[in-house]
Amino acid sequence: MYDIGIIGGGPAGYSAAIRAAQKGLSVVLFEKDSMGGVCLNRGCIPTKTVLHCTDFYKSLKKSDKFGITISEITYDYEKIFNRKNDIVLKIQKSLTKLVQSFGVEIICSEAKLVAQDKIESNGNIYQCKNIVLATGSKPANIKGLESDGEFILNSNDVLKLKELPENILIVGSGAIGVEWARIFNALDKNVTVVELADRLLPLADSDVSKRLDRLFKKNKIKFYTGTKIERIENKKVVLSNGQEICIDMILCAVGREPVLPKIEGFSLDLNGKFIKVDDNFRTNILNVFAIGDLNGKMLLAHSAVHQAISVIDYIAEQKKCHFDTNSVPSVIYGNLEIAWVGKTEEALSDVEYKVSTFPVAALGKAMADDEIDGFVKVLSVDNKIVGAHIVSPEASAMIQQFALMIDNELKTEEILKTVFAHPTYSEAVFESVLGLDNMSLSLPKGI
């Protein structure tokens, strides 16, 4: 008998396996596809690899501004495609060896629950004192825009393209939609984004949405908000606002839905499409837990890792899980990076709060890098940071500083004891906190 059986080898599953082994527990992990789950194989890593290539290409095109002359700048997307695959494969192999180094038994086949303490795979039964479900998620479909792998693509399909079409319509302006809009646009393709909500990035702070609006216009990415596809006629799309667009491909980027595990003989309670869990990620079956995308709390790889650590500590030591969605950062990659954590200004409309927005253009580092379009916006209540929103180079790193502030409920006077290095983008963190009391050192009086 194993102490823990884990179904799913993505960030939630492999992190839980390693943590359990570190705690001295015996572990068997089942993965029917490739280790790493969606994040490594069909999400974060391949997408960011492609995005880095395209950002690099885009940067080279303005090399003259930095005194560097390049006579001809071109790209070969097949090489970008191959680099993406090579990196994914390299990490896959490394990850498998990492998990095995802790003594975790990996079963590379599909698994199903056949009893509350038994997992079946390839005709074999594995008895487990505790079972952790980490089967992840898949691209969501909307009626009329189901993937056909050729004209209508989802986020899995688009990573399989070896050649890019000239005219692309992207449905949805969340992280996936925005990142792929940036990729296609950087590679000189015609991009149109359609968003049903009344603004881009509807889950972000409205000031972030407004800045993304400006960045899209600057980069000549067309977009329509409050709009949906009315009908598709051959390769012509008719929008609800009356616009007609001739396109070569549609990327449907409208979110994700859970991949539910196979179960026989009993059932797990659901919360909508997701598996219902308590504060310790336990399902209605006491020894069965669900973590990561499967429980729907927050569909992010780093969220899944945190849940994995928490649930294993609960199983091993009965230490209550700590997971506060309010302090989990969200990041959208590309140029400029976009990141946020905590409350938006709209969510604070019924309480007294302070707001400070510091323009990145006031930083010497931003001027040197020719990256002056961004800002850092911070929100506080009772002298504690409750939200932060960044559009800037290195936003993915800076947002973590605010996450630490929020999770530890630091007061602003405590934060300002820290010395921030110069010249860095992180100075904008310091300056934005100073600005809560109109004490910024880098802005003229009254701004």
Give the pLDDT mean for 247-251: 97
What are 371-382's pLDDT values in tens digits?
Answer: 999 999 999 999
**What average pLDDT does the segment 379-403 reach?**
98
Q: Do domains 2-139+257-323 and 327-437 have the same CATH topology?
A: no
272 CB-near residues (< 8 Å, 6+ apart): 296
Q: Which residues contact 217 (CB under 8 A, 6 or more apart)?
A: none
The C-alpha angle 48, 163, 166, rounded to 5 degrees, equals 95
Catalytic residue annotation: 422
How confident is the model over 41-66, as pLDDT tens digits? 999 999 999 999 999 999 999 999 99
Q: List strands edge to edge, sheet with 222-225.
A: 152-153, 249-252, 167-171, 190-195, 222-225
Q: Give the pairing type, strands 112-115 and 236-239.
A: unpaired
- Segment 24-34 shows an average pLDDT of 96
With a pLDDT cut of 90, the percent of the chain lying above it is: 96
Check residue 141 and give its pLDDT.
87
Residue 138: per-residue pLDDT: 96
Tokens of 64: 């003259």
Spatial separation of the C-alpha atoms in residues 105 and 203, rounded to whole Å: 40
Would you say residue 447 has pLDDT above 80? no
Sorted by where each begins, the domain ranges of the chain are: 2-139+257-323, 152-252, 327-437
CA–CA gap between residue 153 and residue 172 (Å, rounded):
13
**Buried (b) or exposed (e) across 278-315, using 16+ Cβ within 10 A?**
eebbbbebeebbbbbbbbbbbbbbbbbbbbbbbbbbbb
What is the predicted pLDDT for the residue at 198?
A: 97
Tokens of 253: 């980027």
Cα(79)–Cα(85) distance, integer angstroms: 10
What is the domain class of 152-252 according to CATH? alpha beta
Confidence at residue 370, expressed as pLDDT on a 0 to 100 scale: 95
Contact between 186 and 218 (Cβ < 8 Å): no
**How would residue 446 be classed by pLDDT, with cut points 50, 70 and 90?**
confident
Hunting for tokens 């790193």 — which residue is that?
Answer: 397
- pLDDT, one tens digit per residue, over 259-269 is 999 999 899 99
At residue 192 the predicted structure's pLDDT band, cuts being 50, 70 and 90, is: very high
Q: Please write the tens of the pLDDT for every residue from 150-181.
A: 999 999 999 999 999 999 999 999 999 999 99
Q: What is the pLDDT of residue 210?
A: 97
In this prediction, residues 291-297 reach a mean pLDDT of: 97
**Euclidean distance between CA atoms 190 and 414, whole angstroms:** 48
- Provide the pLDDT for residue 104: 98
Phi and psi based region of residue 381 (left: phi greater than 0; alpha: psi -120 to 50; beta: remaining) = beta
Closest CA to 95 of 177, 184, 17: 17
Mean pLDDT score of the chain = 96
- Whether the per-residue pLDDT at 315 is higher than 80: the answer is yes
For tokens 């906190």, name the residue. Answer: 433
Q: Reduce the secondary structure of 148-204 to three states and give it as a string.
A: CCCCEECHHHHCCCCCCCCEEEEECCCHHHHHHHHHHHHCCCEEEEEECCCCCCCCC
Amino acid in the structure at residue 350 = D
Instruction: State the average pLDDT over residues 100-122.
Output: 96
Considering the segment(s) 327-437 as one domain, its CATH architecture is 2-Layer Sandwich (3.30)
Say yes or no: domain 2-139+257-323 is CATH 3.30.565.10.
no
Range 56-64, long-range pairs (CB < 8 A, 24+ positions): 57/186, 57/187, 58/186, 58/335, 59/335, 62/370
Which has the closest alpha carbon to 354: 434, 268, 242? 434
pLDDT at 321 over 90: yes
What is the per-residue pLDDT for 445? 86
Q: Which two tokens stand for residue 71?
A: 């006579």
Residues 6+ apart with CB under 8 A from 55: 182, 186, 334, 335
Q: pLDDT at position 80, please?
A: 97
The predicted pLDDT at position 139 comes to 96
Q: From CA 37, how far away is CA 192, in angstroms rounded? A: 30
Q: Output the DSSP codes for 71-129.
A: S-----HHHHHHHHHHHHHHHHHHHHHHHHHTT-EEE-S--EEEETTEEEETTEEEEEE
